[in-house]
Amino acid sequence: MLPADMSVKVVDHPLAAHLLLALRDRTTPPALFRTITKRLTTLLMIEATRDLPTITRTVSTPLEEASGETLAQPIVAVPILRAGLGMLDAVVELFPEVRVGYLGLERDEATFQPSEYYAKLPPLEDATTFVLDPMLATGGSASAALESVKKAGAAGVRMVSVVAAPEGVKLLQDDHPDVDIVTASLDRQLNSTAYILPGLGDFGDRLFGTQP
């Protein structure tokens, strides 16, 4: 059971549920899997940016001046390699001026602990940073990634995942209670090899067609 005050938003939308089930389906081929991932990430990012601060700005239409709201801060997207790359295109299309960073983390299959093998981050201090990782399983890689972007100067950080396990959410709540999590589903649990149940298998393998 998750704490009542846990900052987790499960996107409740019929289209999100429809797309997620298609991702779960083992018969979905990689090309379609990539397309569905992009569409679902669009829905997740719309929810993840719902309460971003805005400022009022005035522009000239072809007929007269009009005032409206615009985002007050830049946006940074940081996909965790390699599976997080499947979520990046949707963010770039929604926010063409987004700054993009990359974090490479690999998991030790025996200990399930992550180690960082690559990091390239843009300026973060003046932006809202979104860490993208489709599978929030043990939470180890996500926690390490959040620690990296915070050390690099990120102030406002949010985690966006396609599917999350309670174990991973709990770890992030313990390690990074200031970070909101947006996901399409909070699944049941992890199995003995730290895969999410019911989950959707190895996201990176299914995304890039590298599964056996």
Residues forming the active site? 107, 111, 202, 205
Half-sphere exposure of 145 (CA within 13 A, CB side): 32
Phi and psi (nearest 5°) for 107? Answer: -100, 130
76/87 Cα distance (integer angstroms) = 13
- What secondary structure letter does DSSP report for 200? -
Alpha helices in the chain (DSSP H): 14-24, 30-48, 85-94, 140-151, 166-175, 203-208
Question: What stretch of H or E contains 156?
Answer: strand 156-164
Q: Which amino acid is at 112?
A: F
- 3-state secondary structure at position 80: strand
Q: Are 154 and 76 a contacting pair, CB within 8 Å?
A: yes
Tokens of 59: 């522009």
